[in-house]
Structures are given as structure tokens and as C-alpha cells.
Amino acid sequence: MKYTPTIKYLLDLITKASKSVLRDYNEMVYMQSSIKPTEDFVKKSRRRSADLIIDEINYQRKFTPNILIDGQFKNVGNKYTIIVEPLDAILNFSHALPLFSIAVSLRDEDKKEILASVIELPTLREVFFAEKNNGAWHDSFLNSASSGGRLRVSGRNSSYTMYFSSDHYIEALKDQLIMMNSPLVSIAMVSFGRFDASIFTKISNEHIALSELIIKEAGGNIYRHNNLNIFAHEKGFNELKKILEN
């Protein structure tokens, strides 16, 4: 599909990093049968991904943005900031589970708002992206039949048909819950209607900044309920509240 210049720029920033992480993941698959610890390999993979993204920002030279990565803010005095997640869900990655992501967002510091976001799932070869007031979209590099589609959160509001993801166990949802330790993968799946809601006890401000535009442009929102952060359609959120409060 044809990307806007802003989305194309963000995709270009993570292309090399995505290929690098995917190569490392394939190596990780073989390492599962080894007794050698994988922690150092994972750290190096994440660091290499971060370096590739930062190098690409510098190489592109379209402008020189501020960079926010792992809580470290490099301020060069620009009104725009690139927020970077070089490898989300490193525990999944270290166990050779294919549910992890790379993400970048463009934030306007003057207006304090996210202008565009991209989340890529390297092993699934899927990209979720959004630009302010231009909708949220999905592209697949493996399945052309599902590429170029607009993202819409699920409007299901019958509890027995709903499916949830969470970073913790919830007894009331036990038959319809999948545990996910990747916030960005979970939220991307909600924006696609695969999950009806994602529920987090903890989620970093950076991960919210990387995903909030996608979920909102897909017709959902971020809600707070009993110290939980919930990403869902309004109908789904209201039904989820009833379940949690019973």
C-alpha cells in the first residue's frame, strides 16, 4: 500500500532493526536446546536494534529530532521527538516465542501530542500504524490478502464472546484470558479486533506513547478502572467493568 511520507519515514527507521532482530530470533530458536544462558545474547540483540534505529535517524537527515529511548531523553532542542522501543517483550524473545515487537512514534513537543506511530511484529511480518486524523492501518508482508486494511477495535459487548489479554491473572476472566507480557503486541491486537480489551496493572509512559494513537485512531480508547489501564472500545470496556465488579 502507499504510505504517507511520515509513516514511510518511521517505517524506514526500523527496517534494518527489524531484520536484525528477526535474524537473532532465528538464532534464538536453536539456542533453546542449549544449556548456554541466553540473557547476554538478548541484551546484545536489543542494544543492536536500538543502535540501528538511532543510526538510521542520523542517516536520514530529514531533520534532527530529540530521541526518547528507555527513559533517556536526548534533547537537541527540536519540537519533534522520536520515541523508540527497540525490542518489546524480551522474555518472549529469550524463550523463542514469536510475540515481540519494535515500535517508534513521532511526538510534537509543543502540542504534547503523538502525530504518528508504527508497531512492527517482525516474526509475523505485520505492521500496525496510525497518523493523527488519518486512521489506523494494518499491513502484512506475508499475506497480501490482509494487507492495507483499516484497523477497527472490536465492538463486541457480550461477555461470553469476548477475549482478553492481560499482564496478570484475573479470576473472573479465566476462561477468556490469555497472559501477555508484551504491551505493544497486546494493544496492536486490540486495534485489530483480535482481542476485545487489554488490561495492564503496569505499563510505561513510553509504551502508552507508542500505542495510544493507534488504539484511538482504530476507534478505541485508554481507560482507568481500579488502578488498571484498559485499552478497548467503549462498549467492551463497559462490559468488562460489569464482569470485574461482579
Write the CATH number for 238.
3.40.190.80
Rounded to whole angstroms, the Cα distance separating 107 from 150 reads 22
Task: Tell me, yes or no, whether 175 and 204 share the same domain.
Answer: yes
Cell reading at 12: 524506514
- The whole-number pLDDT of residue 148 equals 66
In this prediction, what percent of the chain has a pLDDT beyond 90? 72
Averaged confidence pLDDT in the chain: 91
- pLDDT of 135 over the 70 cut: yes
Global pTM reads: 0.93
- The whole-number pLDDT of residue 167 equals 92
- pLDDT of 186 over the 90 cut: yes
Task: Tell me, yes or no, whether 93 and 34 share the same domain.
Answer: yes
In this prediction, what percent of the chain has a pLDDT beyond 70? 94
Task: Tell me, yes or no, whether 34 and 83 share the same domain.
Answer: yes
- pLDDT of 237 over the 60 cut: yes
Task: Tell me, yes or no, whether 164 and 146 share the same domain.
Answer: no
Residue 25 pLDDT level (bands cut at 50, 70, 90): very high
Half-sphere exposure of 10 (CA within 13 A, CB side): 30
Task: Tell me, yes or no, whether 20 and 141 share the same domain.
Answer: yes
Which of 150, 185, 219 is the last residue before a domain boundary? Answer: 150
User: How many other β-carbons are positioned within 10 Å of the β-carbon of residue 14?
Assistant: 26
Tens digits of residue pLDDT in 95-133: 888 999 999 999 999 999 999 999 999 999 999 999 999
Tens digits of residue pLDDT in 33-81: 665 667 888 999 999 999 999 999 999 877 789 999 999 999 988 999 9
Task: Tell me, yes or no, whether 130 and 193 share the same domain.
Answer: no
Task: Tell me, yes or no, whether 145 and 71 share the same domain.
Answer: yes
Full residue range of the structural domain in which residue 54 is found: 5-150
Contacts 24+ apart (CB under 8 A), 111-115: 114/209, 114/212, 114/213, 115/6, 115/80, 115/213
Residue 160 pLDDT level (bands cut at 50, 70, 90): confident
Write the CATH number for 61.
3.30.540.10
**All residues at 6 or more sequence positions from 51 whose CB lies less than 8 Å from its CB, including other chains:** none
Residue 147 pLDDT level (bands cut at 50, 70, 90): low
Please count the structural domains in the chain.
Answer: 2
- pLDDT of 144 over the 70 cut: no
- pLDDT of 226 over the 70 cut: yes
